[in-house]
Structure 1
């Protein structure tokens, strides 16, 4: 009885914190996804004196009440095996619940990033299929989910992925001009990989867009700085170095100067 009562009180505390965080994000938590992570870190065994089992139970209680941030946190935990056994079926279920129940969340709402990213994640599951959940690969459905996140929510990561799909014959149909359009939308929101891909397209030029080596190098330079310390750093740096070797000294110098001038506008994005 005591244990049940303790977990119930923790659940109430978590639910209250989730509700408070949704309306007033901490200064360093720029998105609802960041806030969900900070909430978990605050209440984990080391930071808040709450055991892992109690935290999981509390999150599950908040998720049953429909709290998007609790659903998101549980989805990422099961997707990555953080504090729980890795379970893509459960992860898919939590992300799907967010997408199904909150598809019309206001695009500028504080939880919009969580909902948009849930559409992206569910789209990834449909792209590859999830046999253990009886879900076959369905590229058309995957594309529909990505496009909703990219258009309705204006999610930069979704826009980047749509841009890549326009560079694949088996994606949305090979269309470099459309790819550049979507990559540009994401790049101007500070999305590093999109900046790198856009820069490569602009350096080489495509049908309908004349080659612009200086601007292309500028985007790739900003991308390199943007992704420093992330999983994308290696390939972005390789792409930049490849085109720096092809560019004239004058183009390299001009691109570096432009990147330094323009990059600050993306700080904090």
Structure 2
């Protein structure tokens, strides 16, 4: 029994010693704190950093009062910035705001500029709306070569308004380099289609071409042998220098004949400005051969169309007795009166001045004629 007990005690001691020599298990490492994700930039911050989409959204937020206090002026400001940075929708929203007067003062010129911007950014409907406003005269800025290309695309379809607008842009150099050859081409396109305005513009443009000088013999009987008759000189001085003692300068207007033709066609179609232009050209005797009869005839036609300057010129002629059987103060007073009714202050002053030199019978007759013509 003693031996067994001793053996058990020895085994227990051996086990305790082995346990004591076993290394302890390592303890778990403490959990590290996960860093917080950086804060997401706000819409305002993104917009301020130049994000065009954020700028557009911020503009919408200010317009609609979503997340921020409604502020239409601030909205317009952000739309303008976004549109400048390429956001087509922002340009269109701003165009609509100006066109409709939604939160902004209605301004069709500004609307057209933003429709143009949206068109440049690729929106076809915006191009169309810009051209509509341009052709309606709501803006006089064609938009340079880009806008001209859009306008030409419409003009080639036969749209007369577009043809005339394109011709005018080239004639006057408005937004494009002036190019009279292109202007003439477009005016001819509409003139051949029987458009009176195109005929008038074509005639006016041709009539304004600078004159040239040729040399003719002082003895006109020798003109049959003048082989240099068609040689032109840019100035009278140049022609004089080349003329010698036997020939003298003679001014010619290259576009005179064709200009008269187109103006006559427009005038016969009732175009008041063409009638007035013809009347003044015949009266002046420089752009067209002098003809007092033709002048009074076409000025009268323009006057019947209510053309105030024509009325004024006719009144002056009647007061002086030029182009009429004699001085006609009644006719003069009536024409001055009609011109004055259209707001021509000089006509009003001339009428009142003339009245002081008229007797009561003449003045009464003049007033009665004016009243009858007005249908009163």
State the TM-score, normalized to the length of structure 2: 0.47
Aligned length: 220
1:122 aligns with 2:205: yes
SS in 2 for 1:126: coil
Contact 1:126 1:141 in 2 (8 A): no
Q: Name 1:164's counterpart in structure 2.
A: 280
Q: Name 2:60's counterpart in structure 1.
A: none
Q: 1:247 aligns with which of 358, 370, 375?
A: 358
Q: Name 1:96's counterpart in structure 2.
A: 184
Q: Does 1 or 2 have the higher relative contact order (CA < 8 Å, sep 6+)?
A: 1
> How far apart are 1:101 and its partner, in Å?
1.6
Contact 1:68 1:114 in 2 (8 A): no
- In 2, Cα distance between equivalents of 1:128 and 1:264: 46
Q: Name 1:39's counterpart in structure 2.
A: 136
- Over the aligned positions, Cα root-mean-square deviation in angstroms equals 4.0
1:142 aligns with 2:253: no
CA deviations over 1:138-193 (Å, ceiling 9, x no partner): 43443333223223x33211111211222234343333222211111111111111
Q: Name 1:58's counterpart in structure 2.
A: 150
Contact 1:195 1:220 in 2 (8 A): yes
Contact 1:14 1:62 in 2 (8 A): no
- In 2, Cα distance between equivalents of 1:243 and 1:94: 48
Q: Where in structure 1 are there 5+ consecutive unaligned residues? A: 18-35, 46-50, 107-111
**Distance 1:221-1:94 versus aligned 2 partners, 3 A rule:** farther
SS in 1 for 2:202: helix
- In 2, Cα distance between equivalents of 1:241 and 1:95: 44
**Distance 1:128-1:170 versus aligned 2 partners, 3 A rule:** closer
- In 1, Cα distance between equivalents of 2:370 and 2:135: 32
- In 1, Cα distance between equivalents of 2:192 and 2:172: 27
SS in 2 for 1:166: helix
- In 1, Cα distance between equivalents of 2:272 and 2:285: 22
State the TM-score, normalized to the length of structure 1: 0.62
SS in 2 for 1:247: coil
SS in 2 for 1:211: coil
> How far apart are 1:214 and its partner, in Å?
0.8
Contact 2:164 2:190 in 1 (8 A): no
- In 2, Cα distance between equivalents of 1:9 and 1:37: 14
**Distance 1:125-1:204 versus aligned 2 partners, 3 A rule:** closer
Q: Name 1:199's counterpart in structure 2.
A: 315
**Distance 1:63-1:142 versus aligned 2 partners, 3 A rule:** same
Q: Name 1:105's counterpart in structure 2.
A: 193
Q: 2:159 aligns with which of 64, 67, 72?
A: 67
Contact 1:68 1:98 in 2 (8 A): no
> How far apart are 1:70 and its partner, in Å?
1.4
CA deviations over 1:17-36 (Å, ceiling 9, x no partner): 6xxxxxxxxxxxxxxxxxx8
- In 1, Cα distance between equivalents of 2:351 and 2:341: 11
State the structure with more CA Rg.
Answer: 2
